[in-house]
Amino acid sequence: MVRGSAAITPAEPESAPPRHVAIIMDGNGRWAAARHLPRVAGHREGARAVRRTIEAAIRHQIGWLTIYAFSSENWRRPAGEVLDLTGLLRQYLRTEIAELASSGVRMRFIGDRNRFDEGIQKDLIQAEKDTVGNTRLNLTVALSYGARAEIVSAARAMMAAVAAGEVDPDALTEDGFARFLSTDGIPDPDLIIRTSGEQRLSNFLLWQAAYSELVFLDVLWPDFDATHFAAALADFARRERRFGARPA
C-alpha cells in the first residue's frame, strides 16, 4: 500500500497549452430575454465579457485569440438589432483601443469590412495601425465574417494569381492556398470555444478548424468569465490530439 496515496493524482495526458484560442461568443439574446431586457442589453454585457476574456487570455499567456463578433449571416437580423450591434462596435473601437494598445494587444479584423459604414472602416484601419507593433496578444476580431465567403474569396485571388502567372496550379499546396485566406500569418486555432450550449460552427473558420479541439460550454456569453476560460483550457489539456496519426 502506498502511504499518502490520496495525494497522488493519476497522470493524465496533457496537451501542450493552446497557442491559439478562438471563441464563438453566443447567447447575448438569451441572456437578455432571461432578464426581460431588450437584446441590446445582452450585447452590451457581452462587450464586458470580451474585456474579461482578453485579460484572461493575457494572464494565461495565450499568444493568439480570435473572437467571432458578427457573422456575415447576422446582417439578416432585424435592422434595429443590426444598428444596435454596429453602434456598440463603433463605441467599443472608440473607447477600448487605446487601452488595448497600451496592454500590448495587436488587433486584426477579418471579414467583409466594406459592409460597415465609412466611420467604422476608418476606425478598424486605425486600430490595426495603432497596435501593429504589439506582440503580447494577437487579437483577431471576426466581423461580418463568413468562412465560405472567405474561402471563395481566397479561390478568386488564387485564380487571379494563376492567370498572372504568379502561381503554378500544379504546385499549389494546402499551405500555399491558406496564404490567400484572411488568416494568412495566423496559426490555426488549437481550441475553439462556443458558449450558449449550441454545438455548431456557424460558418466560423471552416478551413482553419480542420483539427481544432471543440469545447461547448453551457454558459451564455455575457456570463463568461475567467473561470469558464480556465475550465475550457483544462478540458483542452486532457484531450489527446492525434491529427490522424496513431497515439504515441
Nearest residue to 196 via CA among 216, 212, 213: 216
Number of residues that bind Mg ion (CB under 5 A): 1
The cell for 154 is 481566397
Quote the CA–CA distance of 86 and 84 in Å, as a whole number.
6
Q: Are strands 105-110 and 191-194 parallel, antiparallel or unpaired?
A: unpaired
Q: Which of 27/189 has CB closer to Mg ion?
A: 27
Of 23-52, binders to ligand IPE (CB under 6 A) are 24-30
Out of 26, 84, 123, 190, the active site residue is 26
Minimal distance, residue 26 CB to Mg ion, in Å: 4
- Compute, in degrees rounded to 10, the torsion defined by CA atoms 156, 181, 54, 232: 110
Minimal distance, residue 87 CB to Mg ion, in Å: 19
Number of residues that bind ligand IPE (CB under 6 A): 18
Site string for ligand IPE, 204-223 (x = CB under 6 A): -----------------x--
Nearest residue to 87 via CA among 36, 123, 135, 136: 123
Which residues touch 192 (CB under 8 Å, ≥6 apart)? 21, 22, 23, 24, 201, 204, 205, 209, 212, 213, 214, 215
Quote the CA–CA distance of 222 and 209 in Å, as a whole number.
24
Partner from Mg ion, ligand IPE, none contacting 202, C-beta within 5 to 8 A by type:
ligand IPE
- Check if the beta carbon of residue 59 is closer than 8 Å to that of residue 134: no
Partner from ligand IPE, Mg ion, none contacting 71, C-beta within 5 to 8 A by type:
ligand IPE
For residue 224, the SS3 value is coil
Residue 114 a catalytic site member? no
Contact window for ligand IPE (CB under 6 A) among 47-55, 62-70, 163-171, 180-188? 62-70
Residue 74 a catalytic site member? yes
Return the residue matching grid coordinates 473607447: 95
Work out which of 22, 26, 32, 208 binds Mg ion, going by CB under 5 A: 26
For ligand IPE, the binding residues (CB under 6 A) are 24-30, 68-71, 74, 85, 196, 198, 200, 202, 221
Which residues lie near Mg ion (CB under 5 A)?
Answer: 26
What residues are labeled active site? 26, 74
